[in-house]
Structure 1
Amino acid sequence: MTFGNATLRGGQTLLHDARMWGQLLRWGILGLVLSIVLTPAVSLFTTTSAHEWRVVGLGTLAEFKLGLKYDPDSRQTYEWREGERTLERISLIASDPRIERIRRRMLDTVHKKAWLGLWLGLAGIVLFALIFWILGRRMARAHRVRGAEMTSAQALGRRVQPVFSRLGGRFFPAARKSKPRIAGVPWPERAETQHTIVSGTTGSGKTVLISDLVAQIRERGERCILYDKMGSYTRAFFDPARDVLMNPLDARAPRWSPFFEARTPRDFDTMAAALIPQQKDTVDPFWVTAARQLFANGAGVL
């Protein structure tokens, strides 16, 4: 990275961080100010009656008029009791001790509730900072979007097995033992009749895993079909009393010949088509057709 690119990248990152911090501080200060203002305002409007507001307002108006050199004997509407309004001299209104008493109580409420609003605002800032920190940690944490995932056998078992099956296996151990497992992990429901691929390099344990599955199937008294190309499963599991080998080259297998499957010469044509399939990208079908005819005619003669 060149000097210019590095400087540009660093400047962009620094300015972006400063702008983001400024946005957080701006909203934090705004919330703090609103808390300081709204807390005493709500308290005043909920603890001060309408009559007290009118007394303070009319008394302040009378004092303002006296300050402007109005005639002290000039009259103004005043409310001595709630709902009772009379015309009184402004000098008499301004001397009402209730005005100062209500003012002091209101100022004391504003002072106390402003401090309460300050502490509430600071607590809110701390709370939101904690929430932002938790969200930031969670967003920065690596998470899987798709694809393979490494997990434990216990977690995989919880994923592939329904809740009711897990509960049933907990209360009925016999039912849990009757269900097949692959390397200790429960096989998903109805997966036995579907496709399951076991892949791995030489010596990774594919045969051992499948052998364990075959042993579980035999233990349950059920049947399975094995394509045993290397003979590993035959050596490990073959029981002449219950198993059948489908291998014409093995003396333990029932006597079988492809001639037993053909009743007419056309049956050999069907065998030839199955044994020698026509490739999709074949340009000249002569060789496939000739091989089929050779097999069908030779088998028919024999």
Structure 2
Amino acid sequence: MTREDRSFVFVGATLGLPLVAWLGAALWRYGVERPVSRGLLRVAELTPRDGVLIAALLVGALAGFLLAAWIVHRYDAQFGGAAFKRFLRGTRMVSHRGLQLRTREPGAAQVLIADTPMPTWLETLHLLVAGATGTGKTVALGQLIETILRRGDRLIIVDPNGSFLSRFFFPGDVILNPFDRRSEAWSIFNELRDAYDFKRYALSVVPKG
């Protein structure tokens, strides 16, 4: 949501709702007088002396302010960037809630990452999760794995420190780790078939330099 969008929402809500509330109260108290323009003018003249109409304006203004604040808080991208009058191209910044609404596919069993549904057409592409220590990378990946398992899919997980194994291991899962007693039987010689394999494994154990 840009600065212009926020201004439009704020002005529209704080002016529109009081007007609607005032019109509703006027119709309730005085009905519709023909012609309508003359009737509205007469009601406008009576407003300063009519407590109901004044209360309707105040309640409408308060409701409009609260509604505008809620909309801006819920859908604001939190980063407006440089001011602009017209969007040409490039990436749009949206709020978390706005992103959820854009990526949700009704009826589809979508996986989640950071509480956001992933579009199904993106699942076969690469996913990069980057961030400093403590920013929640493991938490986000854990939610992704949990929703994938809940959907009934199978995974191959490279888990160096065993954090995902401790959370998501089920009886019958296959572990490949020579230091884990639960691991499937494995020998490096089963992986070597020609000279290239010997060289590749040797370099992985003793890198050049």
How far does residue 157 in structure 1 lie from its aligned partner after superposition?
A: 2.9
Q: 1:187 to 1:261 in 2, by over 3 A?
A: same
**1:91-102 equivalent positions in 2, closer than 5 A:** none
Q: Does 1:235 pair with 2:166?
A: yes
Look up the match of 1:202: 133
Q: Does 1:245 pair with 2:175?
A: yes
Greater relative CO (CA pairs within 8 A, separation 6+): 2
Greater gyration radius: 1
Structure 2 Cα separation of the partners of residues 226 and 153 of structure 1: 28
How far does residue 143 in structure 1 lie from its aligned partner after superposition?
A: 6.4
Look up the match of 2:97: 154
Look up the match of 1:271: 197
Query: 1:186 is matched with which residue: 105, 114, 117?
Result: 117
Q: Give the SS at the match of 2:176.
A: coil
Structure 2 Cα separation of the partners of residues 146 and 229 of structure 1: 41
Q: Does 1:261 pair with 2:204?
A: no
- Runs of 4+ aligned residues of structure 1 deviating over 4 Å after TM superposition are 142-149
**1:1-302 equivalent positions in 2, closer than 5 A:** 141=84, 149-161=92-104, 165=105, 169=106, 175-176=107-108, 178-241=109-172, 243-262=173-192, 267=193, 269-276=195-202
How far does residue 181 in structure 1 lie from its aligned partner after superposition?
A: 1.8
CA-to-aligned-CA distance 1:58-92 (integer Å, 9 cap, x gap):
xxxxxxxxxxxxxxxxxxxxxxxxxxxxxxxxxxx
Contiguous gaps of at least 5 residues in structure 2: 1-82
Structure with the largest fraction of helix: 1
CA-based RMSD of the aligned residues comes to 3.1
Letter in 2 for 1:236: R
CA-to-aligned-CA distance 1:250-300 (integer Å, 9 cap, x gap):
1111111012234xxxx25222332356xxxxxxxxx96xx9xxxxxxxxx
Q: Give the SS at the match of 2:200.
A: helix
Letter in 1 for 2:196: T
Contiguous gaps of at least 5 residues in structure 1: 1-139, 170-174, 278-286, 292-302
Structure 1 Cα separation of the partners of residues 86 and 155 of structure 2: 40
Count of aligned residue pairs for this structure pair: 126
Structure 2 Cα separation of the partners of residues 205 and 239 of structure 1: 24
Q: Give the SS at the match of 2:149.
A: helix
